[in-house]
Amino acid sequence: MATFKGLACFWGVDGITYTGFGTTSGATRQTQSADLTVTSDRKEIRDGDGCVKSIVYYNHNRTLDLEITPTGTSQALAATASDETIMPAGTKLIVRTTATGQSTGTGDGSEIDSDTGDGAAGAYVVQESSLSRSNESEAKISVTLYRNDVNEIATDDIS
């Protein structure tokens, strides 16, 4: 547990949970980092001399990059957690924070518990996932998630 002296700040990634990964009992995952990027496309409107007179921002979206360490109550279950965390592109995941047993934005991790504004909670689609292993380190899984703020594209498959 962190102890603050002077000014307080958001600390750690405790309480971030996901819906959409596998759920084998005893196979767990520890979030090591969560990096949120909020972006949009833009179009510059220029005058006859080529100088920008206006900028139009549209297609607002978010990318959430996660680094996760697969864990378990045994080596086999840690391997299962790894298998269940490497997700194919297009898979739907829900991101929430539940540090206080709620998803209301209170407690540790609440800085990401909004699906509007600068928050990262909500429905995403997996853009990419990868596994990194080393003879001197734990296994690490990197997952890149995408969501569009205008259109809900992280829905169930359309049939």
Q: What is the pLDDT of residues 77-121, one digit of tens each?
A: 988 988 888 889 988 888 876 544 334 334 444 445 455 555 677
Quick one: pLDDT at residue 114? 52
Q: What is the pLDDT of residues 28-81, one digit of tens each?
A: 888 898 888 989 999 999 999 999 999 999 999 999 999 999 999 998 998 898
- The SS3 assignment for 78 reads helix
Q: Are 33 and 67 in contact (CB under 8 A)?
A: yes
- The SS3 assignment for 112 reads helix
Nearest residue to 30 (alpha-carbon basis) of 115, 140, 146: 140
Question: DSSP class of residue 157?
Answer: P
d(CA 108, CA 141): 23
The CATH class given to the 16-148 domain equals: mainly beta
CA atoms within 13 A on the CB side of 52: 6
- The SS3 assignment for 130 reads strand
